[in-house]
Amino acid sequence: MYADVILPLPFSDLYTYSVPVEMRNKITRGSRVIVPFGNRKYYTAIVYKIKESASNDFKIKEIHSLSDSKPVVNEQQLKLWEWISFYYLSPLGDVYKTALPSSMKSEDLKSKFKPKTETYIRVNPELDPVNITGIIGRAAKQLSLYNQIEIILTYNKIEHISKKEVSELEGYSVSVLNGLVKKDILQTFEVETGRLNTAIKPTRKPHPLNEFQQKAFNEIINCFKSRHTCLLHGVTSSGKTEIYIHLIEEALSTGKQTLYLVPEIALTTQLTQRLQTVFGNKIGIYHSKINDNERAEIWNKMLSKEPYEIILGVRSSIFLPYQNLGLVIIDEEHEMSYKQQEPSPRYHARDTAIMLAHFYDAKTILGSATPSLESYFNTRNGKYGIVTLLERYGNILMPEIQIENTFELRKRRKMKSLLTPLLIEQMKLILENGEQVILFRNRRGYASLVECEHCAWTPKCKRCDVTLTYHKKRNRLNCHYCNASYTMPAVCPSCNSENLKTLGQGTEQLEEEVERLFPEYIVGRMDLDTTRGKDAYEKIIDDFQSKRIHILIGTQMLSKGLDFENVGIVGIISSDSLLNYPDFRSHERGFQLMMQAAGRAGRKNRQGKVIIQSADPDQPVYGYILNYDYDGFFNSQMAERKMFNYPPFSRLISIVLKHKTEQKVEDGSEYLAALLHQSFGDKVKGPSKPIVSFIQRYHLREILLKLDYSFSIKKTREIIRSAETIFHTKEDFKYVMIHFDVDKV
For the chain, the straight-line distance linking the first and the last C-alpha, in angstroms and rounded, comes to: 45
SS (HEC) of 292-324: HHHHHHHHHHHHCCCCCCEEEECHHHHHCCCCC
**Residues found near Zn ion in the complex (CB under 5 A):** 452, 454-455, 457, 461, 463-464, 479, 481-482, 484, 492, 494-495, 497
- Shortest separation between residue 461's beta carbon and Zn ion, angstroms: 3
**CA dihedral sign of residues 529, 534, 538, 543:** negative
- Shortest separation between residue 50's beta carbon and Zn ion, angstroms: 47
Question: Which run of H or E residues covers position 37?
Answer: strand 32-37
- Shortest separation between residue 490's beta carbon and Zn ion, angstroms: 12
Counting beta carbons within 10 angstroms of the beta carbon of residue 325, is it exposed (0 to 12), middle (13 to 18) or buried (19 or more)? buried
Q: Which is nearer to Zn ion, 302 or 452 (CB)?
A: 452
Q: Which is nearer to Zn ion, 191 or 503 (CB)?
A: 503
Phi, psi for 397 (deg, rounded to 5):
-75, 155
- Shortest separation between residue 455's beta carbon and Zn ion, angstroms: 3
- Shortest separation between residue 473's beta carbon and Zn ion, angstroms: 20
Q: Which is nearer to Zn ion, 86 or 481 (CB)?
A: 481
Give the integer Cα–Cα distance in Å for 309 and 260.
Answer: 11
Answer whether 600's CB lies under 8 Å from 438's CB: yes
One-letter amino acid at 666 equals E
The length of the chain, given as a count of residues:
745
Per DSSP (E only), the strands in 516-628 are: 523-526, 551-554, 567-572, 609-614
Picking from 468, 230, 273, the residue whose alpha carbon sits closest to that of residue 362 is: 230
- Shortest separation between residue 477's beta carbon and Zn ion, angstroms: 10
Q: In what order do the strands lie in the sheet with 551-554?
A: 400-405, 609-614, 567-572, 436-440, 551-554, 523-526
**Residue 404: Cβ within 10 Å count:** 22
Give the integer Cα–Cα distance in Å for 11 and 701.
Answer: 23
- Shortest separation between residue 424's beta carbon and Zn ion, angstroms: 35
Q: Which is nearer to Zn ion, 451 or 538 (CB)?
A: 451
Strand partners, 188: 121
Give the integer Cα–Cα distance in Å for 635 and 350.
Answer: 23
Phi, psi for 408 (deg, rounded to 5):
-60, -45
By three-state DSSP, how is residue 283 classified?
Answer: strand
Question: Which run of H or E residues covers position 671?
Answer: helix 662-680
Q: Which is nearer to Zn ion, 91 or 506 (CB)?
A: 506
- Shortest separation between residue 341's beta carbon and Zn ion, angstroms: 16
> What torsion, rounded to 10 degrees, do the Cα atoms 509, 511, 514, 515 define?
-110
One-letter amino acid at 602 equals G
- Shortest separation between residue 321's beta carbon and Zn ion, angstroms: 38
Q: Which is nearer to Zn ion, 36 or 489 (CB)?
A: 489
One-letter amino acid at 515 equals E
Answer whether 337's CB lies under 8 Å from 593's CB: no
- Shortest separation between residue 489's beta carbon and Zn ion, angstroms: 10
Q: Which is nearer to Zn ion, 87 or 446 (CB)?
A: 446
- Shortest separation between residue 509's beta carbon and Zn ion, angstroms: 21
Answer whether 233's CB lies under 8 Å from 387's CB: yes
How many CA atoms does the CB half-sphere of 352 hold within 13 Å?
32
Answer whether 296's CB lies under 8 Å from 113's CB: yes
Q: Which is nearer to Zn ion, 265 or 479 (CB)?
A: 479
Answer whether 31's CB lies under 8 Å from 71's CB: yes
Q: Which is nearer to Zn ion, 330 or 468 (CB)?
A: 468
Give the integer Cα–Cα distance in Å for 181 and 463.
Answer: 60
- Shortest separation between residue 700's beta carbon and Zn ion, angstroms: 13
Answer whether 329's CB lies under 8 Å from 244's CB: yes
Picking from 118, 101, 112, 177, the residue whose alpha carbon sits closest to that of residue 144 is: 177
SS (HEC) of 224-262: HHHCCEEEEEECCCCCHHHHHHHHHHHHHHCCCEEEEEC
- Shortest separation between residue 458's beta carbon and Zn ion, angstroms: 9
Q: Which is nearer to Zn ion, 486 or 521 (CB)?
A: 486
Q: Which is nearer to Zn ion, 218 or 483 (CB)?
A: 483
Phi, psi for 129 (deg, rounded to 5):
-55, -30
- Shortest separation between residue 486's beta carbon and Zn ion, angstroms: 10
Q: Which is nearer to Zn ion, 152 or 484 (CB)?
A: 484
- Shortest separation between residue 471's beta carbon and Zn ion, angstroms: 14
Q: Which is nearer to Zn ion, 28 or 494 (CB)?
A: 494
Q: Which is nearer to Zn ion, 468 or 610 (CB)?
A: 468
Q: Which is nearer to Zn ion, 454 or 717 (CB)?
A: 454
